[in-house]
Amino acid sequence: MNTRTAPMILDERRDDDGCTLQLVVPMDLDYFPGHFPQAPVLPGAAQVAWALQLAASHLGTSPQCREMEALKFQRLLRPGDRATLTLRHDRVRGKLHFAYREGEVTYSSGRLVLEPRV
């Protein structure tokens, strides 16, 4: 059984309150067989989950989201696509800003209100 649910990380750059990750959407993700088998796309829920998980592991933020703000899914992410994921943690407001882009193309973006870390 295929158990792949995470992106492949090619590169990482850090700054004061965030990081930028170069990703590849694997061809064999568990999400694809049930999410439009004839034309697989990465579900928006998976994109949000990746942002939360990657921010938690790279920035030390909470992996739990209390509220989603300003979510925009503008272009489909498909198997084999490359994307740059930008994560910025607004500590004062307890928010995580994320955006998946490649060059001039924006795939998705949003703000997530994080649960406090326990």
Q: What is the pLDDT of residues 41-74, one digit of tens each?
A: 999 999 999 999 999 999 999 999 999 999 999 9
What is the reported pLDDT for 35?
Answer: 64
* Percent of all residues in the chain with a pLDDT value above 70, rounded to a whole number: 95
Q: Could you tell me the pTM of the whole model?
A: 0.92
Average the pLDDT over 7-14 and give the result.
Answer: 96
CA distances (Å), origin 114, targets 2, 8, 34, 66, 102:
30, 24, 29, 5, 26
Vertex 54 angle, CA 26 and 69, to 5°: 105
Query: What pLDDT band is residue 93 in, cutting at 50, 70 and 90?
Result: very high
Tell me the DSSP string of 59-87.
H---S-EEEEEEEEE-S---TT-EEEEEE
